[in-house]
Amino acid sequence: MRYIEYKDEGVFKSGHFACAGCIESLSIRIIVNAVGTDAVAVVPPSCGAIICGGYPNSSLSIPTFHTTLEAAAASASGVKRSLVARGKPDTTVLCLAGDGGTYDIGFQALSSAVERNEDILYICFDNEGYMNTGGQKSSSTPLQAVTGSTPAGKLTPKKNIVEILAAHNIPYVATASAGHAEDFVRKVEKAKNIRGTKVLIVLIPCLAGWGVADNAGIKVTRLAVDSGVFPLYEVEDGVKYTLNHTKKSMPVNEYLSQQKRYKHLSEQDIAEIQSGIDKEWARLEKRTQASVD
């Protein structure tokens, strides 16, 4: 059994509308407790918007601004600039978005904010689909995953958002998982203390959308990391790569077999997915080694 060191500061409150066993609600708890109360949250339409809720019944004990789906990063930029103008440059502005609002609909605003190096902490809760509107695919949906709009499995691979953001020479972009809470907290605290745009991509198994048991969310996040499906790593200033979980210790089928969205896969399909993961892992190892050299 894995034990973690964690102290809850009460910034995230009970009584929210997350599904039972939801990993996103747990991830929000980790994030806001690491950031503290000197913060403002900006939330576009998403599962996160339902979980955070609106005034006067928000589950967050920090000011929370609900914005449009396409404008999350732009809205967060405006909130931050207004705080600076009021003499509060150290207040953290959190953007809590989903993958639809990050990889797809909100990417233009995010890319522009990154190009301007706006001083915001942008969090993407990546559940690999539009899970709040029927479970349709997004560009974050992986190869062969069944969704509401890809009933036979998605024919194209997942967009590599970390590499796209790294190409902007972003100060800090990293992946994180609630299944590795100590690493998650460290990355939030590190990002909080960096000036400029910081982005964390957080893996969120959607229990209903992925076909995962209510009590298996954390197990699936750990399998994603251990199989190399979701590597934990950081990229600083677009060039410095650090792998935080350095061993790919199990085959991908250990992860795929836990989810109904992959029940249709043949052995050839699984081998194709495994090959793609192995190639990406080798690329990350080379990038990490080059950063050291």
Q: For 274-288, what is each residue's pLDDT tens digit?
A: 999 999 999 999 999
For residue 216, pLDDT over 70 is answered with: yes
- Please tell me the pTM assigned to this model: 0.95
Average pLDDT over every residue of 199-225: 97
* Concatenated DSSP letters of 40-93: EEEE-SSHHHHHH--TTS-SBSS-EEE--GGGHHHHHHHHHHHHHHTT-TTSEE
Other CB atoms within a 10 A radius of the CB of residue 193 amount to 10
Q: For 8-58, what is each residue's pLDDT tens digit?
A: 778 888 888 899 999 999 999 999 999 999 999 999 999 999 999 987 889
Across all residues in the chain, what is the average pLDDT? 95
Output 168 or 16, whichever has higher pLDDT: 168
Residues 6+ apart with CB under 8 A from 174: 162, 187, 191, 199, 200, 201, 232, 233, 234, 235
- Annotated domain spans of the chain: 23-292
Of all residues in the chain, the percent with pLDDT exceeding 90 is 89
The CATH number given to 23-292 is: 3.40.50.970
Average pLDDT over every residue of 171-182: 97
For residue 85, pLDDT over 50 is answered with: yes
Q: Is 92 exposed, middle or buried (0-12, 13-18, 19+ CB in 10 A)?
A: buried
Are 93 and 120 in contact by the 8 Å Cβ rule? The answer is: yes
Are 49 and 75 in contact by the 8 Å Cβ rule? The answer is: no
Output 262 or 6, whichever has higher pLDDT: 262
Q: What is the pLDDT of residue 1?
A: 47
Average pLDDT over every residue of 176-203: 97
Are 50 and 132 in contact by the 8 Å Cβ rule? The answer is: yes
Average pLDDT over every residue of 138-159: 97
